[in-house]
Amino acid sequence: MKVYAGMDPHISLSEVITHAQRVEALGYDGIHVAETVHDALALSLLIAEHTTRITIRTSVALAFVRSPTLMAYSAWDLAKFSGGRFQLGLGTQIRQNIEGRYGMPWGDPANQMRDYLGALEALFRCFATGGPINYRSKNYDLTRMQPYFNPGPDIETSPPALWLGGVNPKICHLAGEVAEGFVTHPTNSNPRYLETRCIPNLLAGFKEARRDPKDFELVVGTQVITGATTKALDEERERQRKLFAFLYSTPAYRPTLELYGWGALAERLQEMIRRDEWDDLGHVVTDEVLDTLIPTGSFDELPSLLAERLGHLCQGVTLSPPIEKDHDLAFRQVIAALQQVPTTPLSFATVH
């Protein structure tokens, strides 16, 4: 099983370097770079400059707030500069954020993403050959690339792997059709959701595109509650409770709660958000909900816990290092143990 680290969304730019180097020293396979209060591509450049081994994957960069050409320039540069370690993970975000936070138009996200990925692939071919571009779709027409603006010809740089991340069935289906990997959102990382919604739609996409899923990587971005001591576990539990409440207050992220009959909790969280009761969200999330949906265990328990819960469903997991660096030696052993967990390639026999 591959293990990827995340980052605190409010980390400062100067701290990104230290964090990435710590992740590499801990033995992680890679690092996921979210797009929250920083530009994910800018952070990826910093990480690429100050590490030598780990995979650097945006998880996820927001596609619809950038033109395909602007994204392609950045991704090509990062792929070249990192020596092939950079992978471009893309997501749609939700309508409220695209329109209200970014001031950009919203349409049919799954089909727009299909066109966006097609545009990126056309641009990468254009950069590799140094030739013209002629990509036409419903959402994007790219017909102009003068030699002065073309970074190619460059046959030595391999285009970055294109990944998708998301929640709804359509984006899972699209990932199965065209992406090289998929990262689940924390709210759709529960085994029941993976088995009934995510993986069946991934496989439907593979079937439609007549692709073989054996080399596809599904990375589960689950929340995890862990710690070296009972006190640390308790503190992390309350931190994750608040994060859980915030995540599930978004209507698009409620399907897992509905699978367990907890739709009323999602409605209550949404109502609290409408009243701006941000500080009180965590108070309505019970221990029963946390114990069911978030894997919880000490460092010693965590490898076997995640192996039993997810080993048969995915090829990778996300697991952030503990806040305190005093436990890095013990946590390095956690990562190494998880990397020894055997996984099964995604196949049409994965779910029945």
Degrees, nearest 5: CA angle 17-217-85: 35
Q: What is the pLDDT of residue 54?
A: 98
CA dihedral 343, 346, 347, 351 (to 10 degrees): 90
Q: What are phi and psi of 17, to 5 degrees?
A: -60, -50
pLDDT score of 347: 84
Beta strands in the chain (DSSP E): 2-5, 30-33, 55-58, 61-62, 86-91, 135-136, 141-142, 162-166, 181-184, 217-220, 225-227, 296-298, 316-318
Question: Tokens 């690092």 correspond to what residue?
Answer: 31
Q: What is the mean pLDDT of each run of 10 residues along the chain (352 residues)?
A: 95 95 98 96 98 98 98 98 98 95 96 98 98 98 98 97 96 98 96 96 97 96 94 93 94 93 96 94 95 95 96 96 92 97 83 52
User: Which pLDDT score, from 0 to 100, does residue 324 have?
Assistant: 85
pLDDT at 350: 57
Q: Do 33 and 60 form a contact (C-beta atoms < 8 A)?
A: no
Residue 194 DSSP symbol: I
